[in-house]
Every structure is written in C-alpha cells, then in structure tokens.
Structure 1
C-alpha cells in the first residue's frame, strides 16, 4: 500500500483520482485545496488530513516524513498554471508526481523539469488516458500495421458547452489555462501525435475565447480540428436531443467510436504508474509544443479548413 497526497481536492477531476487511489488499494494521507467543499473525501478517505493553506500542508508532510511516514506519490489536480510548481513540490518531498494534463503550459517548463527530475531521482507522471482507451489502441495498431501509402484524412470536432461561470473562473484566463486549445484539446493532440507521428505543419484559422480551429499535418495524417465551449456551435440534431456535448473523430470519413470506455481510464492510468509504466515528461513534450504554437502563431486565412468554418 502506497501513501498519497492530493493537491486540488475540491476540483472537478479530483474524484477520479480519489477513486483510482482507493481502487488500486492505496492510502491518501493528506489533501489540499483553498476551497473547503471537499465532502467527497468522505466517500473515499475520511481519515485523510485536509488543509486549505499550502504552508500548513507542506509542514504536515514534513512532520510525517520526520516521524517515519513515507510519502510515495503526490496527485496534482490544480489549475493548469500551477502544475509546474506543484510537481516541483512533490519531488522536493521525495515523492513521484501524478499530474493532470496539460502537464505544463510551455515547452521550456518541461526542459526545466527534466533537470529537477534527474536531480531528485523521482518520476513525473502525467495522465494521458486516451492512450489507454481500447479503441484508440486498436486504431494505433491498425495504422502501425497498415503503413498506408499516403495520409489519412482526419476531422476532429469537440464541442463541450460551458456556462457563464467559465469566463470568471481560472479556465477563462488564458495565462492560467492556456486557452481553449490547451484546456480542452491537449489530450486529443497527444492522441493524434501518438497515432500518426510527428507534426509537419500547424496552422490556426480561428482563435477566440470560446472556440478555436485549425489544421495539423502529421507524418501519417491531415487533421482538420474544431474545438468550442459555445453551445451555439452544437449540431442541430444534438441540440434537439437536449445534449450539451458533441465529440466526433472521423478517419477517411469513418467515425471512430470511442464514446464509451472512459469511466475507468484513470484507474488504468494509476495501475500502470504503480507498475512503473506511467507516461512521463517525454510523452507530454509534443502535445505541449503543439498547444503553445496554437496560442502564439499568426492566424491564417487560407488552407484546409474544418467543415464548421465553411
């Protein structure tokens, strides 16, 4: 049984981590969040110590260490811009880090973390759960075996409606979230890179606060992508059903079915991390470069555009 601490216990994604820690038969000894709405802890680890101030949390971990309690992992579920700092804290405490995506916001953050990881001897893991989805694994195996003569044509569409709260929260602040492409798209870009190989071209046609669209060319695929949190962008048939999310990936006009099977992917991620097979810094590097470019390159007016832009 390994000892965990968790930073960001009141957040949306924290219950998936709590469940994974519990269902892999490990123990949460301490949790931190500046918000105290963390009744969810009762369902998993009611005896975990809880803190709303980082300094007291950090001191508590130090006291446990001096009393002989080993901290093995720190799970990080905090806002994107704090990941870098909290990863460093985990390594200073002699623990491995398990961090939600995006691991960091900028490519140079990864370079610095490589040095710190080497110095500490501990490992930085990130959650890239799409790489563990059975349908995605099957697609990668197919692409690897086929060795298609030419490139696959891919359309990625992801619309996940968000209310007015989004702009007020840290997610609406690009300096903290990285913007739409980073916040809701980074795991898709990682998946595409993992399946189709290195990026050869990155073009952005639309970059607004609530939506973005562009074109990515990989070694083995041409990808037109569209991401949005604006419910007005939902297809009519989705609105009629009263649904607020639409997710579609087509490959050569064939729909990739991966709508189910997400429930336990954090559990699988933790199982692999505990076996020493977690996704590390090098696995995250390419997707972080992609989203950093999407944030910063000039907008183009011509090229292969997604159907939703036409």
Structure 2
C-alpha cells in the first residue's frame, strides 16, 4: 500500500483520482484545496487530513516524514493548469513521485526545466493521458502501425462542451492560467492524435477566440481539421433537440470513431499503469504541449483546409 497526497481536492477531476487511489488499494493521507467543499472525500478517505492552506499542507507532510516516519510516495495534482509546474516541483522536493493532470505544463520550456529537476530527484513525473489507454484508441493505433506503407487519413475532430457564464470568471477563462480554449479542452485530443498518427508536420490556426478555436493539423499519417468550442450555440441541431450540451466526434475517412463508452475506469487504469512502472512521462507529453503552445501563439490564417463548422 502506497501513501498518496492530493492537491486540488475540490476540483471537477479530483473524484476520479480519489477513486483511482482507492481502486488500486492505496491510501490517501492528506489533501489540499483552498475551497472546503470536499465532502465527497468521505466516500473515499474520510480519515485523510485536509488543508485549505498550502503552507500548512506542506508542513504537515514534512512533520509526518520526520516525526512519524510516514513518507508520501505519490502526490496527485488536480490543481489549475498554471499551478502544475510549481506543484510538481513540490512533490519532487518531498521525495515523492508526481502524478499530474493534463496539461502537465503550459509551455515547452517548462518541460525542459522539469526534466532537469527530475534527473536530480528521487521521484518521477507522470501525467494522465487516459485516451492512450482507451480500447478503441489503442485498436486504432494498432491499425495505423500495421500499415506497411504510410497512409494519410483524413480526420475531422469536433468537440463542443457547453459552459456557463462562470467559465469566464474562473481561472479557466484566463488564458495566462489555463492556456486558452485549445489547451484547456483540447490537449488530450492532440496527444491522442500525435500518439496514433505521428509527428506534426503542419499547424495552422483558422480561428482563436475565448470560447472557440479551429484549425488544421497535419501529422505523418493524418490530415486533421479540428474545431473546439464551449459555446452551446455551436451544437448541432440534432444534439440541441435531445437537450444535450456536449458533442464529440472524430471522423476518420468519413467513418465515425466510436469511443463514447469506456471512460469510467481510465483514471484507475492510468494509476495502475504508473504503479506498475509504465506511466507516461515528460517525453510522452512534449508533442501535445508544443502543439497547444503553437496554436496559442500562431498568426491566424485564412488559407488551407478548414473545418466544416467554420467554412464560409
């Protein structure tokens, strides 16, 4: 049984990490969040110590280590994107491994710095790339890898996940903290695409606004038109009529990739992967971080293949 600490216990994604720690038969000894609405912890680890101030949380872990010889083996990081870098460093300083939600950092040079720190540390840095563990995505990669000759697939990626007015007020609406819309809701798709279809050869941005973005990515084995949005008015009429607020589609050569099921256990699979010594590290995540960084800083272009949702 390994000891875990968790940062960002009140966040949306935290219950998946709590469940993964529990399902892998490990123990949470301490959690942190500046918000104290964390009653759901009672369903997982009611005896875990909880803190709303980072300094007291950090001191508590140090006291456990020195006075009671209780060491934290892993620190799970579910905090806002812009805090990941700092919290990963804290985990390594404490002698633990870091398990960080995506995006692991906002810029490629942050990866360079963390690589240097990781080499000097006892612990390793892992990230959650759960789409790589989805059976449908794994099967797709196996199919692409089995091709004797490289083949360019034509792909349309569409992801619309409606958000209310709170989004702009929260840290997610601040590009300096979230990395913007493509980083915040798209980074896991870009990771999946680069993992399956190879290195990026072209990255063109056709639209970049606070609530939506679109562009064209060409990989070694795929041409991808992509559209991301949190604006419910972008939802197809058929989706609106059903009262649904999310639409996700990946079309490959006009054939829909079905991967709507099988998500519930992917964080647990990710944790088991890490505990078995096979977790995804900094080198695995670099390509997707470079993609979102380039999207964030690209000059908007009117040329090239455009996603159908923004065609004139």
Provide TM-score, normalisation by structure 2: 0.99
2:184 counterpart SS class: helix
Q: Deviations over 1:208-250 (max 9, x none)?
A: 0000000000000000000000000000000000000000001
Match of 1:179 in 2: 180
Q: Distance in 2 between matches of 1:153 and 1:220?
A: 9
Match of 1:58 in 2: 58
In 1, Cα distance between equivalents of 2:86 and 2:150: 45
Q: Distance in 2 between matches of 1:56 and 1:212?
A: 40
**1:114-193 pair list within 5 angstroms:** 114-193=115-194
Cα distance change of structure 1 residues 147 and 178 upon mapping to structure 2, 3 Å threshold: farther
In structure 2, C-alpha distance between the alignment counterparts of 1:51 and 1:245, rounded to whole Å: 34
Q: Which residue number corresponds to residue 30 of structure 2?
A: 30
Name the counterpart of 1:250: 251
SS at match of 1:154: strand
The CA deviation string for residues 115-135 of structure 1, in whole angstroms up to 9 with x for no partner, is 100001310000000000000
Deviations 1:142-180 (A, max 9, x none): 000024554100000000000000000000000000000
Are 2:239 and 1:238 aligned?
A: yes
Q: Which residue of structure 2 aligns with residue 89 of structure 1?
A: 90
- Matched residue of 1:202: which SS? strand
Residue of structure 1 in register with 2:8 after alignment: 8
- Match in the other structure for 1:49: 49
Mapping for residues 279-290 of structure 1, pairs under 5 Å: 279-290=280-291
1:9-49 alpha-carbon deviations (Å, 9 max, x no partner): 00000000000000100000000000000101100000000
Give the secondary-structure state (helix, strand or coil) at the position aligned to 1:187.
Answer: helix
For the aligned residue pairs, the C-alpha RMSD in angstroms reads 0.6
- Shift of residue 302 of structure 1? 1.4
Which residue pairs with 2:225 in the alignment? 224
Relative distance call for 1:128 and 1:142 in structure 2 (3 A) is same
- 2:200 maps to what in 1? 199
1:120 is paired with a residue of what secondary structure? coil
Q: Does the 8 Å contact 2:203/2:218 carry over to 1?
A: yes
Output one character per residue of 1:275-297: Cα deviation in whole Å (capped at 9) or x when no partner. Answer: 01000000010000000000001
CA distance in 1, matches of 2:122, 2:201: 34
> Any unmatched runs of 5+ in structure 2?
none
Task: Give the 3-state SS of the residue equivalent to 1:223 in structure 2.
Answer: strand
The whole-number CA distance in structure 1 between the counterparts of 2:150 and 2:42 is 55
* C-alpha separation in 2, matches of 1:121 and 1:9: 25
Is the CA contact 2:96–2:122 (under 8 Å) kept in the aligned structure 1?
Answer: no
Structure 1 length-normalised TM? 0.99
Cα distance in 1, alignment partners of residues 148 and 252 from structure 2: 15
The 2-side partners of 1:68 and 1:76 are apart by 23
Asked whether the equivalents of residues 17 and 76 of structure 2 are also in contact (C-alpha less than 8 Å), the reply is yes
For residue 261 of structure 1, what is the aligned residue in structure 2? 262
